[in-house]
Structure 1
């Protein structure tokens, strides 16, 4: 069943954002609780997600058969960059704090916005840019006290930055493909490609694929369900209805969510500056969404691939030329 660009969302888009942000905020917690190598954790996280989705795959048989080779390469490419993101970001948590690592991930919207302008010529209002910058400042302030510019912490911070660039490429590829492919099919094969890439990496490194504790397997499963199904899958679904840059803004909520969860579950301290930064971050996100205005509402339903014919408008009656399909 191939979806069409004019399909309406099954449930409110803002709700999907909130659930997705909460979902990805748990990712750092589960990674910290696992004692398995990060590449193994990432691989099993995705493989278990595929197993969860597998029973429902038969419903999309017609759509899968219609996939062309160009789309196959796109799915593989998106999966490779997702694998690179997971590998680098999870590795960063071994060198730096949750607050610092997730705060640096907020560079993702900048990378996505630059890529969207370069590839799709997508422009944004000044209000949108200002809102994003305010949110990024708030997110950076959350992790500021944990930033280190030397030693292992610097290595973790650099890994987090490169992982943000990788997931930005994954997001831009997804935006292109989601216009003609369902979220389920796109997510299933991207997760599979990413898991395969991580599997090859683990084999090349000689990393054991078995012998992990029950606690580790529980973390793999929780990572599959909470931040992947209720996080990344929802964001893949959103790519059809809003800009890639708008979806990438959701990552700005992760430092706040992860820091709060790390306080309660990992015992990491929260400072007064971080609390104030949290309010600044939320204000920036609110300003970003508000600045989208009518344009943001129009994005909820993308332009149909085959536009419906315009009604005939007698020029002698209106005295005006027929409107163009590109008028907004």
Structure 2
């Protein structure tokens, strides 16, 4: 799975922590009564606020970026903002299982994009693991898909959100070779939050007047799935290829569906539970054999990445 020298601690453990924390996102969103764009805005602004104590350490890099780097950060931030807007809206229209299962298309889109832009390839075992996970994910949501009304719209919004986050992941992989994790995350979160602020302003959504419970949910979203989820995955892009990082989303339907069953009374069938086990096996296979997933030396992608530095 390495694309750079590994740190001393386990990347796999951090990877698992990231999967667990992002799974809480759908629960917190369903608990909130605020507009989803307002939730996304404060989720990201509060994350930036929590990151400020480390800003002094990175003060030089924060404001000494090239025009190309700013362009990449802006593109990544806008894609992240669109992901939150589309996917979080989908949770208001369809079940957690259906919404999160569509996110499992992300690694496929990222793998295709990685092949196109970075000339990366996956070995047979990785493809087999991905196939198992996707099949299991589809089975989890099969009982919840509804081809009409609000549920269909929710499924479509989740698909748009998946396309946006795949683009965000690919841009992030390109950016992280020349920008530190802190600087990348700080500006991407700020740009995504600001794009949501403009969206809220244009739609006349209130910025204040929310109950303390709502502010608590905004803060939980900033700490749990954003800092320990999105930030962590963006950091892992330095050491793991983009497709492997995006594979984490395949574990999300399992944990999110279990949490939805426990906390939102969205029940799971025996078939869905079995499918969840299949996803975990697929993710394990992908991680286990991911060490063979590398860019060919001297590829055109290497040249592009060196230009970004």
TM bracket, shorter-chain basis: over 0.9
- Mapping of residues 161-310 of structure 1, within 5 Å: 161-293=159-291, 295=292
- Which SS does the other structure have where 1:103 is aligned? helix
Distance 1:190 1:222 in 2: 19
Q: Please tell me whether the aligned partners of residues 244 and 290 of structure 2 are also in contact (alpha carbons under 8 angstroms).
A: no
Q: CA deviation at 1:7?
A: 5.2
Matched residue count? 296
Counterpart of 2:81? 83
The one of 159, 165, 169 aligned to 2:157: 159
Q: CA deviation at 1:21?
A: 0.5
- The gaps in structure 2 that reach 5 residues or longer are 296-301, 304-309
Counterpart of 2:35? 37
Q: Please tell me whether the aligned partners of residues 4 and 239 of structure 2 are also in contact (alpha carbons under 8 angstroms).
A: no
- The gaps in structure 1 that reach 5 residues or longer are 300-304, 307-328
Closer, same or farther in 2 for the Cα pair 1:10/1:188, shift >3 Å? farther
Distance 1:61 1:226 in 2: 25
User: Could you say what the CA RMSD is over the residues aligned between the two structures, in angstroms?
Assistant: 1.7
Distance 2:185 2:42 in 1: 16
For each residue in 1:272-297, what CA deviation from the matched residue of structure 2 results, as whole angstroms up to 9, or x when unmatched?
0111101111111122223324x25x
Counterpart of 1:134? 132
Distance 2:60 2:206 in 1: 38
Distance 1:135 1:108 in 2: 12
Higher alpha-carbon Rg: 1
Distance 1:65 1:165 in 2: 30
TM norm structure 1: 0.87
- Which SS does the other structure have where 1:77 is aligned? helix
- Mapping of residues 5-44 of structure 1, within 5 Å: 6=4, 8-9=6-7, 11-44=9-42
Counterpart of 1:98? 96
Larger relative CO (CA 8 A, sep 6+): 1 or 2? 2
- Bigger mean CA offset, 167-176 vs 274-283: 274-283
Q: Which of structure 1's runs of 4+ aligned residues deviate more than 3 A?
A: 5-8
